[in-house]
Amino acid sequence: MVTVIKSEVEINSLITSFKGLLVVDAFAIWCNPCKVLAPKLEIMQQAYPTVKIVKVDVEELANFAEDYNIRAMPTLLFFKNGVEVDRVTGANEPDIIKAIQKHM
């Protein structure tokens, strides 16, 4: 299940501590492409159980959005061992899957 992260401390801790591939979906409640992507991320989470997919509302966690230069929603950030290794801007399912497979 894809979890919505509600605090800066929680997301920063997860980024630095998670071993393996962490995918962070930077989304906004009002964003229609984000709404379309949400169920697809749930399917991806089931298909790739070793990958952790989480969501961050950029309006609730504005500092996160600023720190990672989020300019469009959705933006998916891919982290390994605390380092951003890739990003996909937009609800482009094939590009997201390609990035997951590349960095697993």
What is the enclosing helix (H) or strand (E) of 99?
helix 93-103
pLDDT confidence of residue 64? 97
3-103, CATH topology level:
Glutaredoxin (3.40.30)
Q: What is the pLDDT of residues 59-98, one digit of tens each?
A: 999 999 999 999 999 999 999 999 999 999 999 999 999 9
- The confidence score (pLDDT) of residue 1 equals 93
* Predicted pLDDT of residue 81: 93
Which region holds residue 61: left if phi is over 0, alpha if psi is between -120 and 50, else beta?
beta
**Which residues are annotated as catalytic?**
31, 34
Q: What is the pLDDT of residues 19-45, one digit of tens each?
A: 999 999 999 999 999 999 999 999 999
pLDDT on residue 9:
96
Dihedral sign for Cα atoms in the order 63, 68, 72, 78:
negative
